[in-house]
Amino acid sequence: MDTRPVIENPSEHAALSVTFNHDASRFVVGLDSGFCIFNAGLGLVQMMGNANYLALVGGGRSPKFPQNKAIIWDDSKGKIGLEIATLTAVRGVQISKTRIAVVLQNSVRLYAFQKPPTPLGIYETTNNYLGLCCLTENYLVFPGRTPGQVHVIQFETGSVSIIPAHSSNLRALQLSADGDLLATASEKGTIIRIFSTSRGAKIAERRRGSESATIYSLRFSPSGNMLACTSDKGSLHIFDVPNPRNQQAAPSHPVPSGSGPNAEARNKWGILGNIPFGPFADIYSFTSAPFEIGDEPLLPAPRNQSAGETVLGTSRPVKGVIGWVDETTLIVVGAGQDARWEKFVLREGENGKYMIVREGWKKYLGN
């Protein structure tokens, strides 16, 4: 809890969305007046790597663009590069160097990144109000037709695989930087599962907690050896990830042997922790810290919201968006009126185990 007074006046603008680029060197914020990139009316903003393209979708009180249109903005030229119109509201957009994925409530539409955008495929999904989808040069990942399932499309082989990740609706999906690992969480929010993207096999299971929670964000570290998670419990958790490819290479994981959650579970539970599927088989985070969650009210609904439709802007502002700056440094960003970022660093404690420490925070919207 922060007891220090903040010598700043409230911002007249609210951040509607926050997204990091692929290497977390920048994050882009959608505002009710445009967008800002940190090194109109935009309800959704997605940035492609270090390139100058951003995917925009209208939002806020006075949307700049229709909510059934995905706009690909060329920031180097300061103008719209491509437009993709749909029959229903766009829930999310993902872009890579060669493809664009437009997420609707019950489908994902894939296009070639060219002018005009050429349709490459339409994939049906279960209700996907959150616009869950991951896109890389090698994979397209999105919810399946059945709640809890994940569809994985491998572009190189053209194969389509179905992963029965959870028994309830998905809440979060995230690929590692190299695309080899997939992390999933359901709306229950107690268990995070990690899969091999190419094989569809479950590699690990991590427990966030025993009580249900809404997962805000999942993000692998650059090496793929750690996974960060935030939720509406107001905690940032860091988990160890068994990554066979990285374990064969030179170790880059900052957590020394014996200090991660595997050792912690053995020390805490003894032999009980080694019983497969036993009551202590789940592995918890090896460190955690609180982040600022706030208590902001619901964002106002857009003026052109159709009757009975749930759209961005009728829920609490996005919070807890994670970006790994490097293998030991994270940034957690929140939207809304109280738009701020917080910096966390992994440090070695006196007992040789690593812990996550908050180094500072700052509101990022000007007055």
The answer to whether residue 168 sits within a structural domain is yes
The answer to whether residue 7 sits within a structural domain is no
| pLDDT given at position 243 | 66
Rounded Cα distance between 313 and 330, Å, is: 27
Residues 6+ apart with CB under 8 A from 93: 44, 46, 55, 56, 57, 70, 100, 101, 102, 103, 131
Length of the chain: 367
| pLDDT given at position 248 | 44
**What is the extent of the structural domain holding 138?**
15-363
Residues 6+ apart with CB under 8 A from 267: none
Residue type, 299: L
The 3-class SS string of the chain reads CCCCCCCCCCCCCCEEEEEECCCCCCEEEEECCEEEEECCCEEEEEECCCCCEEEEEECCCCCCCCCCEEEEEECCCCEEEEEEECCCCCCEEEECCCEEEEECCCEEEEEECCCCCEEEEEEECCCCCCCCCEECCCEEEEECCCCCEEEEEECCCCCEEEEECCCCCEEEEEECCCCCEEEEEECCCCEEEEEECCCCCEEEEEECCCCCCCEEEEEECCCCCEEEEEECCCEEEEEECCCHHHHHCCCCCCCCCCCCHHHHHHHHHHHHHHCCCCCCCCEECCEEEECCCCCCCCCCCCCCCCCCCCCCCCCCCCCCEEEEEECCEEEEEECECCCEEEEEEEEECCCCCEEEEEEEEEECCCC
Rounded Cα distance between 264 and 294, Å, is: 31
What CATH number is attached to the domain comprising 24?
2.130.10.10
| pLDDT given at position 28 | 78
| pLDDT given at position 283 | 87
The answer to whether residue 134 sits within a structural domain is yes
The answer to whether residue 85 sits within a structural domain is yes
| pLDDT given at position 240 | 94
The answer to whether residue 94 sits within a structural domain is yes
The answer to whether residue 5 sits within a structural domain is no
The answer to whether residue 201 sits within a structural domain is yes
Other CB atoms within 10 A of residue 270 CB: 10
The answer to whether residue 145 sits within a structural domain is yes
Question: Could you give the C-alpha distances from 304 to 20, 91, 301, in angstroms and in order?
Answer: 28, 16, 8
128 neighbors 143 (Cβ within 8 angstroms) = yes
Q: Quote the pTM value.
A: 0.81
Name residue, tokens 């002018």: 115
Low-confidence residues of the chain: pLDDT under 70: 1-13, 33, 39-51, 243-282, 298-315, 366-367
Count: domains in the chain: 1
Chain Cα centroid distance, residue 96: 16
Residues 271-322: pLDDT tens digits?
A: 333 334 444 345 899 999 999 998 877 655 544 443 334 444 446 788 999 9
